[in-house]
Chains A and B, each alone.
Chain A
Amino acid sequence: MPPPVVWMDGLVLSSIYILIASGLVLVFSIMGIVNFAHGQLYMLGAFLIYYMFARAGINYFVSLVITAVAIGVLGVAIERGLLRPLAPKGLLPPVVVTLGLIFLFEGIATLFFGPEKKAVPSAVPGVSSIGALTVSNEKLLVVAIAIAVMVGLYFLVSHTKMGLAMRASAQDPYTASLYGVSRGRILSLTMFIGCALAGIAAALMAPLYYVDPWIGLTPLIMALLAIVIGGLGSVLGAVVGGALLGFSGTFLIYYLGPWSELAAFVIVIAVLLFRPEGIFGRPKA
């Protein structure tokens, strides 16, 4: 059995993968496209928290909320300005645009913020000891906020009118529109929430690690793997997939060392072979 710190690390990684994967899957379930620039929105969020919290000295929690809103608004701008006009032209053009945005955002970040790694100080410095576990307060904060956000998202999607409209629009946009659900508003709202989740994940991760224009790639890949495992279009699948990757990542490192990376992909291949729609995905009729 791995020591408690390995479990804790698995929990931290899972929290982040879940936040990013949930945003990605939310956008996919309503809009039908994978936003490949999701990782770069995460990166821009990390720079925002750096400039607000580390440089301007704005309170961390205020900075976190502003980051989430700003990245959400940027997501809406992308949806309205680029993805919506291209939607009638088929699936490929909007996807290609999101791929192009990866390089655009990385270029902009390098140009304006520089290629150097930047440090974000801890919002809650210090270390806590819980039995045999020694963990930084920052990691505890990451887990606590991630759980709170995911619970909030669950209530929003499952127990509010807005959530009902989103689910209806995801299931059958045409019928939903007959009941007065504005497809345009739902698309913008979904993009806002999905991208805000990337912003929150970035704000949580920046004090743990560092910020540079290329930090978005690994979280994006892990989030994509998580939604493939969990099932495209299923938020619950993203949660399970993210947790599976987060925990297996640390456990497999503990037991297998460098083979852990291979093992993660073996899990994905096995899921695709035996349940191509993912654990919680719905098989095509």
Chain B
Amino acid sequence: MKKKLMTISVVVLALAVLLMLPACAAPEPEVATLKVGCIMPFSGPASPWGDAIKPQMEVYAELINEDGGIEIGGETYQVEMFFADGEYSPEGGSRAAKELVYDKKVSFIVGYYGDGFPATAAVTNPEKVIFISKEHPDFDPLGKHPYTVIGTPVIEFVDTQILAFVEAHPGTTKVGDLESTLVEPMLAEEIAQAKSELEERGIGLVSQTHPVGITDFTTYLVKFDEEGVDLIYTWAATGYVAMMAKQSAEQGYDWYLCQAGTMLDPYEFAEMAGYEAAQGTMSDWPCPWALKKVEVSPELLEMAGRIADRYQEKYGEPMRYMGGFGYGLQHMSQLFAGLEKAGTLDPDQIMDTFKGGTFDTFLGEYTLSGEKTYGSPLVFGYPNCLSKLEGYEEVYASEHPILEIL
């Protein structure tokens, strides 16, 4: 009986030791995570842009994590990305911001590409979530958005971009600006500035506005022809620009067609416009390795190349859309540069670092003027690098960087 009791005790003791072993094992080092949110359109007519940029941002986060992560104040953080559909609307932007801030508990939102900046910022600012966005006409530079940074100055770049287009075509005598009724009020101030700058160079500018949703621009093109325009600038989306190219070619107009946006897919564009009609179309081209006037740090230049390589490896096709380097990827590089410099995750200290700091980004080094931009939002510059379509490829055409802003 005693022997039996002893045997049972030994077995129980052995089992207990076995059960306790995992608890005694050396603890796994806890990996700190940086939760970064991104709001883009993943449904509706603007979804091709969100769908194009999202995989690029995922690849960037993947490469950063493989390299060990981001070092902030002596601690290393792995990057975890969370994406939400902003539907390119104020309602969608607000809903997506709430999902990211309250459910996913992100500390930062980058890459915003939509039409609901105030609605989104209204969610992020009270929670001190740092929000890096493209520019929006409704931002209040007097400090209503103290945790907002403008990563892509899309309105500020209008006049410098027009200059870049003109510089690519030295013989230009008159620029025609064609905008939708939705966009025109937003750009009016910048277009007026471009007009006066062009006049100083002896170049005219005439503007026309078209209703939203039309696909036949022939009448507008006829009027530009009557005005003697030799270069057309437009903020219209790629599909509309393709229609302008097609309809210009039908009428035999040989002016330069310049779109403010980045070409989503050169092949698709040439198919829509017609191969011949598409040739020479110029677009914004935020391509880090193409920049000539703006210098990108060797580390970020290498990273940009690795992103393109990994993208091709992962998705089996080259990374044709360069807009990611103007929006999502660029905002990520701005955020990481800010965090590394601040050395803390405290949002107030990070924003203080942004004010007056100098940061390396995929599109060059920018100093955010502390004096001029003391009231948020802070605005980064932009290279205004342009491409020209040759065959199905985009090639470098011109550059007119914004080095100082506001």
Contacts and interface: CB of A to CB of B under 8 A. Distances in A.
Contacts of A110: 43, 47
Chain B, interface size category, equals 20 to 34
Contact of B222 (A3, A13, A117, A258): A3
Given A117-B268, A134-B251, A254 B243 contact: no
A269 interface: no
Given A5-B218, A134-B250, A212-B45, A257 B208 contact: yes
Given A115-B47, A115-B48, A134-B250, A210 B219 contact: no
B219 A253 contact: yes
A86 B184 CA distance: 45
Nearest to A205: B215
B250 A127 contact: yes
A78 interface: no
Contacts of B216: 9, 12-13, 208-209
Contacts of B271: 119
Contacts of A214: 44-45
Contacts, number: 81
A140 B214 CA distance: 20
A24 B274 CA distance: 33
A116 B268 contact: yes
Chain A, interface size category, equals 20 to 34
A157 interface: no
Nearest to B214: A218
B298 interface: no
A279 to B, nearest CB: 24
B211 interface: yes
Contact of A5 (B43, B47, B181, B222): B222
A258 B219 contact: no
Contact of B213 (A210, A212, A218, A260): A218
B51 interface: yes
A61 B222 CA distance: 31
A266 B43 CA distance: 34
B293 interface: no
A117 B264 CA distance: 11
Contact of B44 (A3, A115, A136): A115
B268 to A, nearest CB: 7
A281 B113 CA distance: 47
A136 B249 CA distance: 10
Interface in B29-51: 43-45, 47-48, 51
Interface in B230-257: 238-239, 242-243, 250-252
Interface string A1-43: 0110110010011000000000000000000000000000000
B220 interface: yes
A113 B370 CA distance: 49
6 contacts: A2-B219, A9-B219, A117-B48, A117-B239, A258-B210, A258-B211
Given A2-B222, A115-B45, A209-B216, 9 more contacts: A6-B218, A115-B47, A117-B238, A127-B250, A208-B215, A208-B216, A209-B215, A210-B243, A253-B219
Interface pairs A-B: 6 shortest CB-CB: A258-B209, A261-B211, A119-B271, A119-B272, A209-B215, A117-B239
Interface of B: 43-45, 47-48, 51, 181, 184, 208-211, 213-216, 218-220, 222-223, 238-239, 242-243, 250-252, 265, 268, 271-272, 274
